[in-house]
Amino acid sequence: MNNQRYVVIDVETTGNSPKKGDKIIQIAAVVIENGQITERFSKYVNPNQPIPPFIEQLTGITNEMVEHEEPFSAIAEDIFELLNESCFIAHNIHFDLGFVKHELKRAGFDGLECNVLDTVELARIVYPRFDGYKLTELSEELKLKHDNPHRADSDAEVTAMIFLHILDRLKRLPLPVLKAIRRLSWHLISDAQELFDSLIIQKDGRSELEAGYIKIGSFVMKAPDTQAEDFEESRSEALPETLIWEEEGGLSSLNHFKKRDGQTKMMKEVWTAFSNHEHALIEAATGIGKTLGYLVPAAVHAKKTEKPVVISTFTTLLQQQILNQDIPLIKQIFPFPIKAAVLKGRSHYLCIHKFEHILHEDDDNYDAVLAKAQILVWLTDTETGDLSEINLPSGGKLLWERIVHDDRSYERNRPYKELCFYERAKAKANKADLIITNHALLLTDEINQRSRTADADTLIIDEAHHFERAAAEQFGTRADYVSLHKKLMQLGTLKQRGLLKKAERLFRSFGISSESFFQMDEWLSQLIEESDVFFTSVHAFVKRRKPKKDVNRLLYKVAQTGENRAWSRLEEGARRLCAMLFYMHQLFLDQKEQLTGKTVSFTSRQSFLLEEYQSCLAYLEEYGKKLGRLFFEPAEDEVVWIEIDAKGAKNAASVYAQPLDAGEMLADRFFTEKKSVVLTSATLVVENSFNYMIKKLGLSDFYPRTLQIESPFSYDKRMKIMIPTDISPIQNDHSEDYIQDVCRYIKALSKQRNAKVLVLFTSHDMLRDVHQLLRDDIDFPCQLLAQGVSGGSPVKIMKAFKSCQHAVLLGTNHFWEGVDFPGDELTTLIIARLPFKPPDHPVESAKCERAKKMGESPFQAVSLPEAVLTFRQGIGRLLRSEEDSGMVVILDRRIRTSSYGRVFMKALPPALVEEPDFLELEAYISGLNA
């Protein structure tokens, strides 16, 4: 360890900007010397101005606590002496350093000299797998005690402990990794060179690489585990003659298993479908143990037939649950080994060859440098090379796109074939009994390439209510400004540092004419300008026709015929763009021909450059074909639409096409090819019938087996359903009376003791209106969170909601399904509106038009069943286990007053339904709190 003295500082302040007059109200310091905490300092500071109420609420520091304290100027000399010629450490260094320097300067101490280290940045590098890097998130991950968040003394102490953990992690990194990060450190916020130099000196005497690592060029990887537990062959007992779910005692005789009749029913049904080579739909309600219900017969079938069973999910969350929770359970059941593997698309896996080249590029982009440093550390412990494991900065996603495995990585990685992550994933899948994948990959040809999955004709489709939608997206196409712009910027003009300039220099160095590059440069400059003009026109075209105020995403369905003059101008713009992309491709073909005519031996780095250049131009060629198809060759049985970000950049537009009947394509391309496909979900039934889902999935001609398994939950004891009687009728999203009523009920329901309330909306505009009113209500009794308003992704908002003791969460699409709030994490579920899709949604309206042409009622054939399935998913958020309990409140009187309301009522669980007015509901809540 070096002899550097580290001083960890944290300040609490009246606001965010010292330049705008905000002041420090508390400062704390923790001194670290020789790896030990040697000194602590903490002081309240009188800011000589009132502390804003929200700061008092956040920190717990009141005006009374600071009014008799000294101002900062009185302790400025002590702080200066504490910090001078030390290393200043803080969690988000710019904030704390900015305030301290500003206050010191005001007190006459302007010459502070110290290096700085930011623990946010360092934690991102050494803990690249962590979900978040806030102080509370890191203390939770590292199991550190953090009693008083947003108090300087507590925050400084935790930051110091985090820094010591970071030091310990850095000490354990292999020497080549430390040296590689040291080379990158000039572009970091932290002055980390001295720190890395000291760590490198400590290790430099060791010539050999530590055991368990393999050196690849200038970086290090964890050596593959050839004796992975999943593939041990030690247990090789024969398959039992009696199926385990048919044995006396069966699963219930094993530890950790509780006998569930529904689960046994499901196992028998899955086995029967597999044995008879039939397709099947199984609706398995929450609580029956659905995942084990199909994994157990799938494992037996795989062993008996010596062919893998493929299990496909819609979400990565369920994939991880199956692999990490459920597979270990079924391994306890059988006397023979069960081998399971996850297989994802190439773009999930890092290409070793690409990373080696890109690591050495000069790069002053902060996010790219940070991402490189994170990947260097991650490679020392990852066994999968899967993007889902690493938390890259937003700009780091651009770097990832350059280093992912592609169809040429197989050849490039030949020297590292045993190490290639994608090939290792496929090799594992080739030996697996159960292959876990996702709907999108399953519906492509990629899953069958050089893989044993081509032999798999028996499948489980979990989260099957999403399968048709996944198919429509997979069989459709898309062209947008952002993806085109990214590739054009990667290519760059000859005046920029992109691929075009690098390729031109390479050609010139081998005596090949660079004339075509100057022509391409001219086309590229025009293409950059034309693409911006075109997508700006597309954006304006939609905005004029959908002039909704306060709406972010606007969608416009493109008619197959009869568009107006404005549309003709868009077509002309698309035609010009396609032509330019075509000419660019022709110039590239000329360049390839020139290159082929030369006998040239390229270095590895030169070959990599040419591959990137070729890949970029191949993408642009394909993009031109997609754009041409969308505007000039749409199929009769597909819907084409445009989406714009109304409040975003003026060129933020995308054009989509999807088949109207993905089910028909599934029948031809998927179900016909398979012996047995079992589709399962908690919501496949509408009005106690599978007919809608059978038709939607294209299974009508296959006469699939069907089974509906009811939940074992005691809904009559655990759930109360309330449908208030005095809610204003719904006329449109912006009915003021209705919005006021929704707010009134949310506020009343949030007054329950320790209430955790989830409110589900179908419209983001309505959610924002409700949020605005509740936020402005000074008497609102608890924390208020809102998707798309509070900031952060839905996952972060969900985490924040779970961590609150008393809160209301307003959510839209993301929260209707796929999120779990077990136990007291959710006590009340409010459904603001029945979840009908907007009638002008392009896919919805196109399907309705198609139903009308076929002589069906669009509402009965499309809108109603889709809404009922979403409604059932929403209701399912409340009870996730037998011990859960709570209340569902439906604020849409149409469930009782409309002719179709009975269909939604039938979809409700068998729980007690009450219809109170507002006063009766308030009285009920008062009784609960008594």
What mean pLDDT comes out for the span 441-450? 71
The per-residue pLDDT for 167 is 96
| Contacts of residue 164, Cβ cutoff 8 Å, sequence gap at least 6 | 32, 35
| 818 within some domain | yes
Q: How confident is the model at residue 451 (pLDDT cuts 50, 70, 90)?
A: low
Q: Is 287 annotated as a binding residue?
A: yes
Portion of the chain with pLDDT greater than 70, in percent: 92
Radius of gyration for the alpha carbons in the chain, expressed in angstroms and rounded: 31
- In terms of C-beta distances under 8 Å and separation of at least 24 residues, what long-range contacts does 492-497 make, across chains too? 492/524, 493/521, 493/524, 493/525, 493/528, 494/518, 494/521
Task: Render 4-34 in DSSP notation, one character per residue.
Answer: -EEEEEEEEESSS-GGGT--EEEEEEEEEET
Token match 């369905």: residue? 557
Q: Do the Cβ atoms of 811 and 790 come closer than 8 Å?
A: no
Compute CA 690 distance to the chain's CA centroid, rounded to the nearest angstrom.
31
Same-domain check for residues 854 and 918: yes
CA–CA distance, 44 with 26 (Å, rounded to integer):
4
Task: Name, of 78-87, 221-230, 698-707, the range with top average pLDDT.
Answer: 698-707
| 470 within some domain | no
Taking only the tens place, the pLDDT of each residue in 147-179 is: 888 899 999 999 999 999 999 999 999 999 999
Q: Are strands 553-558 and 638-645 parallel, antiparallel or unpaired?
A: antiparallel
Token match 């713009």: residue? 573
CA–CA distance, 775 with 783 (Å, rounded to integer):
10
Tell me the β-bridge partners of 643: 555, 654
Same-domain check for residues 819 and 894: yes
Same-domain check for residues 637 and 784: no
Q: Is 653 annotated as a binding residue?
A: no
What mean pLDDT comes out for the span 526-545? 93
The per-residue pLDDT for 7 is 97
**What's the mean pLDDT when you consider all of the chain?**
89
The per-residue pLDDT for 229 is 44
Q: Is 152 exposed, middle or buried (0-12, 13-18, 19+ CB in 10 A)?
A: buried
What mean pLDDT comes out for the span 386-409? 89
Which helix (H) or strand (E) segment holds residue 538: the answer is helix 515-545
CA–CA distance, 95 with 643 (Å, rounded to integer):
38
| 264 within some domain | no
Q: Is the pLDDT of residue 528 over 90?
A: yes
What mean pLDDT comes out for the span 631-644? 91
Q: Is 285 annotated as a binding residue?
A: yes
What mean pLDDT comes out for the span 811-827? 87
Token pair, residue 283, equals 């609706």
Q: Are strands 719-722 and 912-914 parallel, antiparallel or unpaired?
A: parallel
| 406 within some domain | no
Token match 């031809």: residue? 668
| 32 within some domain | yes
Q: Is 286 annotated as a binding residue?
A: yes
Q: Are strands 477-480 and 653-659 parallel, antiparallel or unpaired?
A: antiparallel
Q: Could you tell me the end-to-end alpha-carbon distance of the chain, in angstroms, rounded to an integer?
A: 60
Same-domain check for residues 630 and 763: no
What mean pLDDT comes out for the span 210-235? 74
Residue where a domain terminates, one of 156, 172, 188: 172
Q: How confident is the model at residue 237 (pLDDT cuts 50, 70, 90)?
A: low
Q: Is the pLDDT of residue 653 over 90?
A: yes
Token pair, residue 299, equals 């494992």
For residue 757, the domain's CATH number is: 3.40.50.300
The per-residue pLDDT for 241 is 59
Taking only the tens place, the pLDDT of each residue in 47-72 is: 999 999 889 988 999 999 999 999 99
Portion of the chain with pLDDT greater than 90, in percent: 68
The per-residue pLDDT for 730 is 81
Q: How confident is the model at residue 256 (pLDDT cuts 50, 70, 90)?
A: low
Token match 């608890």: residue? 782
Q: How confident is the model at residue 1 (pLDDT cuts 50, 70, 90)?
A: very low
Q: Is 636 exposed, middle or buried (0-12, 13-18, 19+ CB in 10 A)?
A: exposed
Q: How many CB atoms lie within 10 A of CB 816?
A: 22
The per-residue pLDDT for 832 is 95
Lowest mean pLDDT among 110-114, 131-135, 323-327: 110-114
Amino acid, res. 269: E
Q: How many CB atoms lie within 10 A of CB 346?
A: 18
What mean pLDDT comes out for the span 524-539? 95
Q: Is 284 annotated as a binding residue?
A: yes
Residue where a domain terminates, one of 172, 203, 224: 172
| 186 within some domain | no
Q: Is the pLDDT of residue 236 over 70?
A: no
Token pair, residue 486, equals 């990214």
Same-domain check for residues 495 and 571: yes
| 477 within some domain | no
Same-domain check for residues 625 and 750: no
Amino acid, res. 694: I
What mean pLDDT comes out for the span 799-815? 90
CA–CA distance, 131 with 365 (Å, rounded to integer):
23
Q: Is the pLDDT of residue 720 over 90?
A: yes
Q: How many domains does the chain have?
A: 3
Three-state helix/strand/coil letters over 109-174: CCCCCCEEEEHHHHHHHHCCCCCCCCHHHHHHHCCCCCCCCCCHHHHHHHHHHHHHHHHHHHHCCC
What mean pLDDT comes out for the span 880-888? 89
CA–CA distance, 558 with 555 (Å, rounded to integer):
10
Q: Is the pLDDT of residue 468 over 70?
A: yes
Q: Is 288 annotated as a binding residue?
A: yes
Amino acid, res. 562: G
Nearest Cα residue to 90 out of 115, 108, 59: 115
The per-residue pLDDT for 551 is 65
Nearest Cα residue to 760 out of 820, 822, 833: 833
| 64 within some domain | yes
Same-domain check for residues 731 and 630: no
How long, in residues, is the chain?
Answer: 930
Token pair, residue 222, equals 């964890």
Same-domain check for residues 638 and 771: no
Amino acid, res. 512: I
The per-residue pLDDT for 796 is 81
Q: Do the Cβ atoms of 230 and 339 come closer than 8 Å?
A: yes
Q: Do the Cβ atoms of 660 and 847 come closer than 8 Å?
A: yes
Q: Is 493 annotated as a binding residue?
A: no
What mean pLDDT comes out for the span 382-399? 92
Taking only the tens place, the pLDDT of each residue in 7-39 is: 999 999 999 999 999 999 999 999 999 989 999
pTM: 0.89
Residue where a domain terminates, one of 172, 189, 208: 172
Same-domain check for residues 631 and 768: no
Same-domain check for residues 21 and 97: yes
What mean pLDDT comes out for the span 534-556? 83
Q: Do the Cβ atoms of 802 and 821 come closer than 8 Å?
A: yes
Q: Is the pLDDT of residue 231 over 50?
A: no
Q: Is the pLDDT of residue 2 over 70?
A: no
Same-domain check for residues 500 and 638: yes
Token pair, residue 729, equals 């009728």
The per-residue pLDDT for 235 is 46
For residue 50, the domain's CATH number is: 3.30.420.10
Q: Which domain holds residue 139?
A: 5-172
The per-residue pLDDT for 71 is 95
Q: Classify residue 221 as left (phi > 0), alpha (psi -120 to 50) or beta.
A: beta
Same-domain check for residues 616 and 492: yes
Q: DSSP character for 361?
A: S
Which helix (H) or strand (E) segment holds residue 283: the answer is strand 280-284
Q: DSSP character for 788?
A: T
Q: How confident is the model at residue 240 (pLDDT cuts 50, 70, 90)?
A: low
